[in-house]
Amino acid sequence: MLCFLFYFYLMAVRELPPICPDVRQKQRLSIETLPPEMKAPIPPEPVIPIRTKTVKEFQEDMEKAKTSGDWTSVHDFYLTTFDSFLEVNAAFKKDANAPFNTIEDSGINTKFLNAVYDSILSTNPQYTSTSTYVIFAHLLRQIATLAEADHHFLVHWFKKLSQRRFKQLVDRLLQFISLRLFPAKSEELPPMGKCTWWNPSATKVLALLNAANSISNPPIIPFTDFYNLTLDHIDIMEEYNTWHSYGNSHRFSFCQFPFILSIAAKKTITQRDSEQQMISIARQSLVDKVSRRQRPDMTLLFLNIKVRRMHLVSDSLDELTRKRADLKKKLKVTFVGEAGLDMGGLTKEWFLLLIRQIFHADYEGPYQNGKNLMGLAVYNSITLDIRFPPCCYKKLLSPPIVPCDQSTPVGIAAVSLDDLQLVMPELAHGLSELLAYEGNVEEDFYSTFQVFQEEFGILKSYNLKPGGDRIPVTNQNRKEYVQLYVDFLLNKSMYKQFAAFYYGFHSVCASNALMLLRPEEVEILVCGCPELDMHALQKVTQYEGYTKTDPTIRYFWDVVLGFPLELQKKLLHFTTGSDRVPVGGMVDLNFKIAKHEVSTDWLPISHTCFNQLCLPVYKSKKELKQKLTIAISNAEGFGME
């Protein structure tokens, strides 16, 4: 790691960017104009040594040293190579005297560099010690403080690393940050007060690798590989408040580099930020009431929604419209005619049932009618059973903060043919074939930069660019045609509808915390984790009145693990009020099974507000399966409508 980063650093410092190709000649000319007494001798051109050791020769030297125990040749090689910058260049550059000032070629003999790097780590036990991080930290600071132009080169050079090497660098930097925050042996590192620059430097270098990963298509590693789970255990709200208060000033915060924060950390930030807004707005409502000398009541603190099950959609939309001013208060739901008290469970059920109806394929206008629902769900930390295409979440974050100028376009994202593939696969396939067509596009397709779209039974034409109806699609401009067509379909043609959806989402969920999120992370916050892992749920389940070895509990898990996915989702809905897994996975459910001291003729019952299942002591697996299946298959409502 040290050798590897050190050489990249030296290359950047020494050769990037070149100030002037003939700078030495200019120095000579300026010296000639000086009086004789002020002239100094011109230093000679540095002599760059020629080093011809190959990877094979170096590896043979290593094997001989391991066998014989005589490390003289390897030791001499290290002493010579790392003696000076000239020697480093001579050893690792493809051509020691040639400049490589391009983003395409770093000029490094990477095979040789990797061989030396691997040998240093494998033969020197010192590098397994945390104490060597002092050296590493100084190297990282030098890289972090390079000029922007040098960082630009490094990003493109990092991009050319193999996936394995790239992942090694990322993991080592993440480990460095974690060990600085929570050292296993604090005596091996300097006091935190003397090295507050360590983690900022490491994070900035990690940002270069993240940039390299982002501009690679496909990415070298998944974006989740940049998550540092150690940061889940620090005071993340202090980091957020520092970032929120000071922005990108000299005060460092991990929130300046959101790629390093896990989705769990970001969920904590969005949830706490929402709670702070809820408290602030509720307090203001109370103050307003008291200032008017009116008696305050608890209903002021909440967004209270009352609906009838038989008129769920119309009642819900009417309530949300009438109580728009209260949308940023804590949500509480009441089903008319039912005895349920909303401690969280009814809210989850209301979202589940409403989303199923309002986003049904046969229901018109989901964007318009459901424009507040996604924001309301995220604001209240509820996961939804919906599946929008990924480009929808890109558009929701374009931009992540609602612009002050109402004329500024919103919901316009950079979209590609890959995005269209997930929305209109047949059309995307046709456009892909157009791009790959080897014949004469203009003569064979006879298309122009004009497209047609049916609206309310009427076929309308749209030019993709000015005069598009007169511009033929050719082999030369077909890429532009495809890009404009995709942009038209996913941005321009739905602008008004999606703008309403965008403003509806942000009217409830407006927060600077959205700036920390990637589109994929917004989807997870909205929809929860995609996998339903009952084995994971079994591991984290808590018991009250039972132990995990009791026969009833063993029957329960045998039955549940054998359920088809649909019944497993119904069980989740029955016990938690939602069939979605929260962002943090099953562990965040706090699922509990309690003993219910009643006759085994009773069905299981649940307390969805507390994610608790109350289970009678059934005597057989067959009886438990029968009663549980009946209960979870008839779980909607309180039967008192």
Catalytic (active-site) positions? 609
Query: Residue 535 class from Cβ within 10 Å (0-12 exposed, 13-18 middle, 19+ buried)?
Result: exposed
Interatomic CA distance for residues 9 and 346, integer angstroms: 58
Q: How many helices (H) and strands (E) does the chain have?
A: 27, 8
Tokens of 461: 């034409």
Tell me the residue type at 271. Answer: Q
Cis upstream peptide for 472 (omega within 30°): no
Scanning 34-71, the segments in alpha helix (DSSP H) are: 55-68
The Cα 328–Cα 274 span in angstroms is 8
Of 134, 196, 209, 136, nearest to 167 (Cα)?
209
CB-neighbour burial class of residue 371 (10 A; exposed 0-12, middle 13-18, buried 19+): buried
> Token pair of 42, please?
């011109």
Alpha carbon separation from 213 to 142, 155, 173, 223, 374 (Å, rounded): 22, 9, 15, 8, 30
Name the token pair of 582: 């929260």
User: Phi then psi for 464, rounded to 5 degrees?
Assistant: -75, -20
Which region, left, alpha or beta, applies to residue 629 given φ > 0 means left and ψ of -120 to 50 means alpha?
A: alpha
The CB-side HSE value for 542 (13 A sphere, CA atoms) comes to 10
Exposure letters 595-607 (e unless 16+ CB within 10 A, then b)? bbeeeeeebbbbb
The total of other beta-carbon atoms located within 10 Å of residue 120's CB is 17
Phi first, then psi: what are they for 327, rounded to 5°? -60, -25
Long-range pairs for 490-494 at CB < 8 Å and ≥24 separation?
Answer: 490/391, 490/395, 490/413, 490/415, 490/419, 490/420, 490/423, 491/395, 491/411, 491/412, 491/413, 491/415, 492/462, 493/453, 493/462, 494/367
Q: How far is CA 482 from CA 294, 380, 476, in A?
A: 62, 40, 12
Q: What's the token pair of residue 460? A: 């309308």
Could you tell me the sign of the dihedral formed by the alpha carbons of 268, 271, 274, 278, in that order? Answer: negative
